[in-house]
Structure 1
Amino acid sequence: MNSNWNDFLAKQGAQDNFEHFGDPAGELAASRSGTIVAPLTDQGVIRATGEETAGFLHNLLTNDINHIPADGARHAGMCTAKGRLIASFLIWREGGDYLLQLSADILPAIHKKLSMYVLRSKVKLLDASNERLLIGIAGPQAEALVSGLGAKPGVAMSSAAFDGGTAVRLDDRRFVLAVAAASAESVWNTLAAAAKPAGLAAWRLAEIAAGQPRVVAATQEAFVPQMINYEIPAVGGVSFHKGCYPGQEIVARTQYLGKVKRRMYRARLDAAFPPGTDVFTPEAGTQHCGALVSVAPSPEGGYECLLVVQSSGMEAGEVHVGTPDGPKASFLPLPYAIE
C-alpha cells in the first residue's frame, strides 16, 4: 500500500476506503454511460523476473504464459490440486518481466505460495504494489484518453507502454494502467480532467457488466475455473492446449466429461451481500449450490452481482441469496453466451 498515493487520492475526494469520490450515484451512472477513472487500490501487483519466468508461470497457472507476446496480456488462475481457484490474475509483460495483477487481500499469501515453487529456478518474485500503481479507465472516451498518454494498445487483451507505465486494454471500453509511482499523480490529474473520478464501487460495476470475475479472499477454493466462465473465450482464463499445472486434471475432466452444472451469471439483488455469500435454490433445499463472486451498487437501485449457481436453478428462476428463503436474484444478461 503506497501511503503517498493514498494521501493524494484522499485530497482528491476519495472516501469510504476509496469506494467513491463523494458522488456515489453520479459515479455509478457514469460507469454505465460516461467515462470514469478509478484508482484500483483493492488490487496489487507481483513482478516476476528472471530468464526462466515464462516457463515457471506456465507450469503453475491455467493459461498459456509461454506464448504471451511482448504486447499481449492474459487472464489466468492458480488452482489447488483439486482444481479450485485460489487466485485470478491479469498478466502482461514489461520487457522480460511478467506482471501479475490480483486482489490485494490475497496477494501476500499468493506471493508466498508462488515463492515456494521457485526452488532453483532462475526466477525472482517481488511485491511491486508500491512500484506500480493501478488506475482503471472505462467508458466511450477511454481509448482516446489512453492514446493521449502516448499508449497505443491494439485489440482486447493487449498492452502498450507509455511514458510512466503500461496500459492494458481489457475490451472496447475498459483499460488498466500500471503506472510508476513517480508518475501516478500526473497521470491521474490528466485523466481526471476529462473523465469522472470514481471509486471502487463504480469499477466493480463495470467488471460485473463485463462478466469478468475476480477471486478474492472470501472466494478462494470456492470455484473450479469453469464455474466462473473462465474457459469461455470472452473471459479467456484457461488454455486446454498447454501442459500440466496444479489442478489441471480436474479442470480438463470437468471440460471434457460432461456439462458444467454450475455457471456464473449476472443478477440484480435488493440487498447487499459480500462475496462468498452462499446461494440456494429450491431444488437444492438447505444445501447451498453456489456463491456470490462480486457485488456492486446499481444506479437503478439495489445491487448488481456476479453469482455462481446451478444452471437448472437459474433456468427455473428461483435463486435465493444468504439463506434458502433469502432475497431472490433477478437475472440480467451477460455480454457473452454461456454454452
Structure 2
Amino acid sequence: MKDWIAATGGRQEAGDRVTFETPAAPRLALETTVMTPLAHLGALDVEGPDAERFLQGQTSAQVSLADGAFAPLTCFCTPKGRVLANAQLMRIAPAHFRLVMHASLVASLAEHLGKFAAFYKAELRVRDDQALLGLIGREAPALAEVRFDAAAPRAWHQAGDETVQLLAHPGPRPRLLVCLPAERVETEWQWLEEHATPVDNAVWRLHDIQAGLAWLDAEQRDTYLPQMINWEALGGISFKKGCYTGQEVVARAHFRGQVKKRLMRAQLDGGLLPEPGSAIEDANDKRLGEVLCAELDAYGEAEVLAVMSTKEPALPLRCAGQKLKLLKLPYAVERLDPEELAAR
C-alpha cells in the first residue's frame, strides 16, 4: 500500500486498484475533467555522472533524445530480447533520469540494473517518495498550467522542473500524468478537487487500453518481445542506436519479419472482466493469444488489450465465455522511429 493514497480519499484495494464513491466513472470522464491516483505506476531514478552512458547500454531508447522536453518510451530486455520492463524515460537534470513504469516492476528492474550499475558512476533509487496523479479531460492542460506553472506538453513530452514533472499521454481525451513529492499530494489534491472529479484509476487504465498502450506487470515479465506489445509502433525502440542488452534479437525480429504475435485491442460482449492471461480462442477452440489487461468502458462492456496471433482467425472469437470483437488501434502497426518523434 502507498501511504499517499489516503491523502486523496481513495481506497486502495487488492493489488494496485484505487476506488472512489463516484458513480459511472468511465462515463463521467467523457463529460468532464477527472483526476485519479495512479497507484499502479511507479518511478525508478538513475543518477550520476555515468547515468546516460549506463542507460544507453541497457535500454531500447536513444537516451540522448531524452532532453528534458521529449520523454521517449523505452524497454529493458533479457539477452533473448524478452521485455523485463517497459517504461517512459524522463531527464530531470543533466545527470538525473527517471523511469515511469508499472509499480510491480520497479524493484525487480532496479535489482536487474544494479548488477551493471556497479561498474559505472551511477546510482539507482526506487522513488517510493514520489506520487503519480492522472488528469483526464478538456480542462486538464489548463489546470496543470495554472497549478504547476508549466505549459502542458504534447504527447510523449515532459514539462516542469526537478520537483514536479508533467507527462502528456495519448488517448481519447487529453491526459496528463503529474509526478510530484508524496508529501505534497494532500495540498495539491485539495486544490485540484475544486476543478476535477476524483475517479478510480481504472479510468486511466481504460484510456491506456483505448490508446493501445500496455504497461507490462510482474506477471508478464520476461514473456514478450517488444514488438509483441507494439513498442516499435509507439516509438519505443530506436533501431539507429548502438548495442544494448537484447538488441540483436529485437533487431533480427524486426528486419526479418519474425513477429508472429501482436498487441491487439478488442471489446467483449458483456461486462465480465477477464483476468490477465485469459485465453482468446477462435471458432475451432484454438488458442490465439491471451489478455494483457481489461477494464469496463463507459457502457459497461469490457475492453481489452491482448497479445494475439497475426494470422487471420476463424470467427467468432471468444474470451472468458464472452464473444470478442477486434477493434482498431489508434496508430499504424509499423515502425515509428523515436528520432522522428523527437524531431516533430
TM-score scaled by length of structure 2: 0.88
Cα pair 2:253 2:259 within 8 Å, conserved: yes
| 1:62 counterpart SS class | coil
* RMSD between aligned residues: 2.1
Once the two structures are overlaid, the 10-residue window that deviates more, 104-113 or 269-278, is: 269-278
AA in 2 matched with 1:52: D
Per-residue CA deviations over 1:286-334 (Å, capped at 9, x if unaligned) read: 5x432212111122122111111112245x5443335xxx433112222
AA in 1 matched with 2:281: F
Q: Look up the match of 2:308.
A: 309
Q: Look up the match of 2:187.
A: 186
Deviation at 1:276, TM superposition (A): 2.6
Match among 65, 72, 87 for residue 85 of structure 2: 87
Whole-angstrom CA distance in 2 between matches of 1:242 and 1:279: 36
Q: Look up the match of 1:57.
A: 55
Q: Look up the match of 1:243.
A: 242
AA in 2 matched with 1:197: P
- The alpha-carbon distance between structure 1 residues 20 and 89, as it changes in their structure 2 partners (threshold 3 A), is same
Whole-angstrom CA distance in 2 between matches of 1:24 and 1:248: 46
Q: Look up the match of 1:210.
A: 211
Cα pair 2:35 2:198 within 8 Å, conserved: yes
Q: Look up the match of 1:14.
A: 11
- Between the two proteins, the alignment pairs up a number of residues equal to 326
Q: Look up the match of 1:266.
A: 265
Q: Give unpaired runs (5+ residues) of structure 2.
A: 335-344
TM-score scaled by length of structure 1: 0.89
| 1:73 counterpart SS class | coil
Once the two structures are overlaid, the 10-residue window that deviates more, 274-283 or 92-101, is: 274-283
Whole-angstrom CA distance in 2 between matches of 1:60 and 1:15: 33
Cα pair 1:31 1:205 within 8 Å, conserved: no
Once the two structures are overlaid, the 10-residue window that deviates more, 105-114 or 170-179, is: 170-179
Per-residue CA deviations over 1:246-295 (Å, capped at 9, x if unaligned) read: 21111111111126322111111232122233333357x55x43221211
Residue 27 of structure 2 is aligned to residue 29 of structure 1: yes
AA in 2 matched with 1:338: V
- The alpha-carbon distance between structure 1 residues 245 and 40, as it changes in their structure 2 partners (threshold 3 A), is same
AA in 2 matched with 1:224: L
Q: Look up the match of 2:42.
A: 44
Q: Give unpaired runs (5+ residues) of structure 1.
A: none
Whole-angstrom CA distance in 2 between matches of 1:250 and 1:21: 44
Whole-angstrom CA distance in 1 between matches of 2:31 and 2:240: 38
- The alpha-carbon distance between structure 1 residues 48 and 13, as it changes in their structure 2 partners (threshold 3 A), is closer
Q: How does 1:1-339 map to 2 (within 5 A)?
A: 2-3=2-3, 5-9=4-8, 12-14=9-11, 16=13, 18-25=17-24, 27-95=25-93, 96-130=95-129, 132-149=130-147, 150-161=149-160, 164-171=163-170, 173-232=174-233, 235-258=234-257, 260-269=259-268, 270=270, 271-282=272-283, 286=286, 288-313=287-312, 316-321=314-319, 326-339=321-334
Whole-angstrom CA distance in 1 between matches of 2:161 and 2:190: 16
AA in 2 matched with 1:175: L
Per-residue CA deviations over 1:95-128 (Å, capped at 9, x if unaligned) read: 1311111111122111111111112200000111
